[in-house]
C-alpha cells in the first residue's frame, strides 16, 4: 500500500532553497507512489499563537486560562478550531512527517513552533501514559530537514556555535521522540547561501536519493523508558540498577542523558551502529 507523507513547510519565498528542498521531496515521494500533503505555513497564514480562540465553545476555566488543560478538553470533545483539526487529520494519516525549514535562532521559525504548540495537543499527540517509546505516534517516522547560514564546522563540538547534536536535542527528543515518532537522522543543508550552485544542486540530488530508500532507514537511538522509574516518588529518574550498569560504559546514554560522562558522538545526527 502507498505511504502518506506530510511536509510541514516553513519558508516565505517560492524561490528559496527551502522551496527547492520541499519540491524535490514532493517529486521524489510522488515518484515512489506516496500520497503527499504539504502544509505551506506562510501561504496558509497559519496562526502561530496558542490562544483561547483555538477552543470552540465555553472555556472550562475562563478566570484562569490554561492552554494545555483547555485544549486537551476541547480535543476530547471535538471543540478545537478548524485549522488545528485539519492539521491533526493530516498527521493522523501520515506515515512520515518532514519538517522543512530554515534554522532560526538554533530552532524552528516561530510559525512552525506555533504549528507544533497548537497541533500536537495533549491527548492527540501525547499523555503522561503515552510518551517517548510508548508515545502515541510510535508507528510514524519524522525528519527535520533544514538549511543553515553557518557552515558545518561551526556546529562541531569545537566550533563557534557548539555541537549541532545539542542544538537538535530539544526538537528531536523534546518534541518528536516525546510524541513517540521514530526520528530519522536530520537532513541538514549547510550554509546554502554560501555554497556554489553545483554544491547546492548536489545537496538536492542527495536528498532526492535519500528519499528513495527512506522507508528502510533505521531511526536514531534514544534512552528507553524502561531504564527509568516512571513514578512521581521515583522522580522519573534512572533505576539504580540501570545506572550501575551504565556506569561501566565510556559514554553517556544520549546527548542529554550524559551522566556526567562524554556525550556519545553524533547521537542526534547519525544512526547508532549497535
Ligand atoms: C530570524 C533568523 C534567525 C536565524 N538563525 C540562524 C541560526 O541560528 N543559525 C544559522 O546557521 N542560520 C540562521 N539564520 C539564517 C538562515 O538559517 C538561512 O538564511 C537559511 O537557512 C537559508 O535558507 P533559504 O532557503 O532562505 O536560502 P536562500 O537564500 O533562499 O537560498 C540560498 C541559495 O540557493 C539558491 N537556490 C534556490 N533554489 C535552488 C535550486 N533549485 N538549486 C540550487 N540552488 C537554489 C538561491 O537562489 C540562493 O542563491 C537565521 C535567519 C533568520 C532570518
List per-residue pLDDT tens for the chain, 274 residues long.
589 999 999 999 999 999 999 999 999 999 999 999 999 999 999 999 999 999 999 999 999 999 999 999 999 999 999 999 999 999 999 999 999 999 999 999 999 999 999 999 999 999 988 999 999 999 999 999 999 999 999 999 999 999 999 999 999 999 999 999 999 999 999 999 999 999 999 999 999 999 999 999 999 999 999 999 999 999 999 999 999 998 889 999 999 999 999 999 999 999 987 6
Q: Tell whether pTM > 0.95.
A: yes
CA of 169 to the centre of ligand 1 (A): 22
Beta-carbon neighbour count of residue 77 at 10 Å? 11
Backbone angles phi, psi at 20, to 5 degrees: -65, -40
Q: Residue ranges per domain, the chain?
A: 4-219, 221-274
Reduced to 3 states (helix: H, G, I; strand: E, B; else coil), residue 72 is: helix
Alpha-carbon distance of 180 to 182, in angstroms, equals: 7
Alpha-carbon distance of 166 to 56, in angstroms, equals: 38
CA of 163 to the centre of ligand 1 (A): 20
Q: Report the candidate in 272, 234, 240, 273 with the shortest Cα–Cα distance to residue 259.
A: 240
CA of 25 to the centre of ligand 1 (A): 17
Q: For domain 4-219, give the fold.
A: Rossmann fold (3.40.50)
CB neighbour list of residue 143: distance below 8 Å, 6 or more residues apart? 96, 97, 98, 99, 183, 184, 185, 186, 187, 214
Residue nearest to atom 29 of ligand 1 (CA): 193
> What residues are in contact with ligand 1 under a 6 Å CB criterion?
11, 16-18, 20, 102-106, 147-150, 192-193, 197, 200-201, 204
pLDDT (0 to 100) of residue 1:
59
Q: Which atom of ligand 1 sits closest to the CA of residue 20?
A: 41
Dihedral angle of Cα 186, 190, 196, 199, to the nearest 10 degrees? -30
pLDDT (0 to 100) of residue 247:
87
Q: Report the candidate in 88, 188, 99 with the shortest Cα–Cα distance to residue 137.
A: 88
CA of 192 to the centre of ligand 1 (A): 6
Q: Report the candidate in 101, 119, 117, 104 with the shortest Cα–Cα distance to residue 42.
A: 101
Amino acid at each position: 500500500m502507498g505511504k502518506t507523507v506530510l511536509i510541514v513547510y516553513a519558508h516565505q519565498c517560492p524561490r528559496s532553497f527551502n522551496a527547492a528542498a520541499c519540491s524535490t521531496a514532493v517529486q521524489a515521494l510522488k515518484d515512489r507512489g506516496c500520497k503527499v500533503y504539504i502544509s505551506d505555513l506562510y501561504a496558509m497564514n497559519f496562526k502561530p499563537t496558542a490562544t483561547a480562540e483555538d477552543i470552540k465553545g465555553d472555556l472550562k476555566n475562563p478566570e484562569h486560562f490554561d492552554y494545555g488543560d483547555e485544549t486537551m478538553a476541547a480535543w476530547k470533545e471535538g471543540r478545537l478550531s478548524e485549522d488545528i483539526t485539519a492539521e491533526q487529520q493530516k498527521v493522523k494519516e501520515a506515515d512520515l512527517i518532514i519538517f522543512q525549514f530554515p534554522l532560526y535562532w538554533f530552532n524552528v521559525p516561530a510559525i512552525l513552533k506555533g504549528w507544533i504548540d497548537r497541533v500536537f495537543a495533549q491527548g492527540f499527540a501525547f499523555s503522561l501514559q503515552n510518551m517517548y517509546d510508548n508515545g502515541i505516534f510510535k508507528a510514524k517516522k519524522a525528519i527535520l530537514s533544514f538549511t543553515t547560514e553557518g557552515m558545518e564546522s561551526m556546529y562541531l563540538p569545537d566550533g563557534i556555535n557548539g555541537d549541532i547534536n545539542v542544538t537538535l536535542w530539544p526538537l528531536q527528543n523534546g518534541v518528536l521522540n516525546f510524541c513517540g515518532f521514530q526520528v530519522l537522522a536530520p537532513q541538514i543543508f549547510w550554509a546554502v547561501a554560501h555554497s556554489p550552485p553545483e554544491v547546492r544542486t548536489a545537496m538536492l540530488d542527495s536528498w532526492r536519493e535519500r528519499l528513495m530508500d527512506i522507508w528502510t532507514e533505521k531511526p536514531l537511538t534514544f534512552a528507553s523508558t524502561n531504564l527509568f522509574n516512571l513514578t512521581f516518588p521515583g522522580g522519573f529518574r534512572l533505576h539504580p540498577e540501570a545506572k550501575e550498569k551504565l556506569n561501566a560504559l565510556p559514554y553517556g546514554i544520549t546527548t542529554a542523558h550524559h551522566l556526567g560522562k562524554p556525550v556519545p558522538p553524533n547521537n542526534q545526527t547519525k544512526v547508532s551502529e549497535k
